[in-house]
Structure 1
Amino acid sequence: MLRLRSSVLAHLLSSPSTSHVSPLNRLLSCAVPHISSNPSFAVEDYLVGTCGLTRAQALKASTKLSHLKSPTNPDAVLAFLADLGLSSAAVAATVAKDPQLLCASVERTLAPIVVGLTGLGLSRSEIARLASVVPGSFRCSSIVSNLPYNLLLFSSYDNLLKALKLHTNLLGCSLEKVVKPNVAFLRQCGLSACDITKLCSNATWVLTINPERLPVLVARAEGLGVPRGTTMFTHALQAVVCLSEEKIAAQVDNLKKAFGWSDADVRIAISKHPLLLTRSSDILRRRSEFLISEVGLEPAYIAHRPAMICYSLEGRLKPRYYVVKFLKENGLLDRDRSYYYAFQMTEKVFLEKFICPHSEAAPHLAEDYAAACRGELPTRFIFS
């Protein structure tokens, strides 16, 4: 029945009204009998049985739909989403994200939004993707007026969707009061259009934050020694947005204690990798014990290459260290070869540089490396 209503809905939405009674009203009155109150209607069961949510998702979502007394409107919304092209799984995920979408009026809200988005040049598949990513904004008419500016800002529809996945309320945020003032300030900071696009793609919250707070955060990011417009500036903003000045000061002390760094070392490390400030004391301690005590790196050397502190200890640092040490011990690699060189490269390049060339001289190396990545320590990687 849902499929039937879906196809009929598409036809009626695209047909002009010929009377004071809209096509959609005729559809709903015929397809689903109006029920003002249905004592037997159970929202949680409906979410599971009809929408496809898990019981846990339905329990959480039902708290926002306690006022629903009938499946009439939710049925119309589900039919509408199906007609847009959303699969059953996509519909379930969309409803789980925003249960209140089931309360939106198809005729007064959803259909006009689709018409508006179509008028902007979006295809039905693009509209369907948008609905599934930002269902909350999809029931706000401002999505139509806000979309062109954001498309221009992010330079492509795909880039915008990626940003929306990080910050779903972007299209519902006021352009004139929030988004445009923040973009204008970033331009005053010397960031080019390309810089702003890159920044906002990784830190979309920059566009929706209170415009009075953004200059404060930019100043604090610069105070970490990270110039505006650099690659690390985004990370610096991410760090300061979630840390107070007191927490930053405490983290600086943690870094000094963990790595034996001077004030100068800390400034160098943070300027090169601001997200060090977000790492826990336990992570810092364990990285320090491994890099300094086991690998034998000097504190100052680490300060100039702080990214290695943020690499996975078990999944990256240790397995690659064992491989490089094995190759050195067996005369297959120059003893002066830097461990950091092996740490910082991608997995594909590491395999090409350190594993594949030694398949004959060390036939078990690939197998041992895979075991080390799983947290095991092959006997061949144990050195006296």
Structure 2
Amino acid sequence: MSESNILALFTNQPSAFTTNADRFKEIVEEIKKMGFNAQRMNFALAVNAPRGMCKSTWEKKVEVYKKWSLSEDQILVACGKHTRFMVALEDKIMGIMDFFVNKMGWESSIVVRRPMLVCLSLERRIIPRCLVYQILLSKGLIKKGFGLKQLLESPESYFLNKFVEKYEEEAPELLKLYQEKLNLSK
């Protein structure tokens, strides 16, 4: 690993250096075998991802993602983008993947492009906001494939302004439906 990557890992994830030396070496070797370039920042991030869990837990989570047709390489790419990608419980991963693939009709690889999505609350964020998205889409107010970062990852105030208040005249029911869906999740 480059000096700058070690420094970045130490600065952002200092607990990575409290890992047993043998386990840390094992993780580094696994990440290298997976094709990550040790000179790139995503290598340092990928090293940190499996560090906080035992190998069997990591493997169970990999198997859950594989059930949704994601390859190990895709899983590691997602980990390199967002280290908390593998922290979610298996049930949560299944629920989010089921919602995206079976309810929204999106490809499972969406979580590789936007791994942060797995860290969001299905009930309190994803479902209510996707309901708004579906209504806006059905009314022709937005186009299919709208930016997921804006839709799901943005702060509440931005989301309300961009997706609810903006269309108050064309879809006055949005705010009420959104708030009802949020209240049901509490």
Q: Could you state the TM-score of these two structures normalised by the residue count of structure 2?
A: 0.77
Choose the corresponding residue for 1:354, options 163, 166, 169. Answer: 163
Deviation at 1:328, TM superposition (A): 1.4
1:250 maps to 2:41: no
1:195 maps to 2:5: no
How do residues 18-97 of structure 1 correspond to structure 2 at under 5 angstroms? none
Structure 1 pair 370–345 and aligned structure 2 pair: CA distance change class (3 A) = same
1:260 maps to 2:66: no
Q: Deviations over 1:323-380 (max 9, x none)?
A: 011111122222442445411222222122111212233333223212212226xxxx
Structure 1 pair 231–369 and aligned structure 2 pair: CA distance change class (3 A) = farther
Choose the corresponding residue for 2:112, options 300, 303, 321. Answer: 303
Contact kept? 2:31, 2:46, Cα under 8 Å = no
* CA distance in structure 2 between the aligned counterparts of 1:346 and 1:217, rounded to whole angstroms: 38
- Indicate the SS of the match to 1:299: coil
State the partner residue of 1:241. Answer: 51
Residue identity matched to 1:326: I
Identity of aligned residues (%): 19
* CA distance in structure 2 between the aligned counterparts of 1:211 and 1:317, rounded to whole angstroms: 37
Name which structure has the greater RCO, CA cutoff 8 Å, separation 6+. Answer: 2
Q: Deviations over 1:301-335 (max 9, x none)?
A: 33322221221101111011000111111222224
Q: Which runs of 5+ in 2 are unaligned?
A: none
Pair member with larger Rg: 1
* CA distance in structure 1 between the aligned counterparts of 2:37 and 2:82, rounded to whole angstroms: 9
State the partner residue of 1:275. Answer: 84
Aligned CA RMSD, in angstroms, stands at: 3.2
Contact kept? 1:226, 1:271, Cα under 8 Å = no
Residue identity matched to 1:243: M
Residue identity matched to 1:251: K
Structure 1 pair 192–236 and aligned structure 2 pair: CA distance change class (3 A) = closer
* CA distance in structure 1 between the aligned counterparts of 2:161 and 2:43, rounded to whole angstroms: 28
* CA distance in structure 2 between the aligned counterparts of 1:194 and 1:336, rounded to whole angstroms: 38
1:343 maps to 2:152: yes
Structure 1 pair 364–198 and aligned structure 2 pair: CA distance change class (3 A) = farther
Structure 1 pair 365–302 and aligned structure 2 pair: CA distance change class (3 A) = same
Contact kept? 1:255, 1:261, Cα under 8 Å = yes
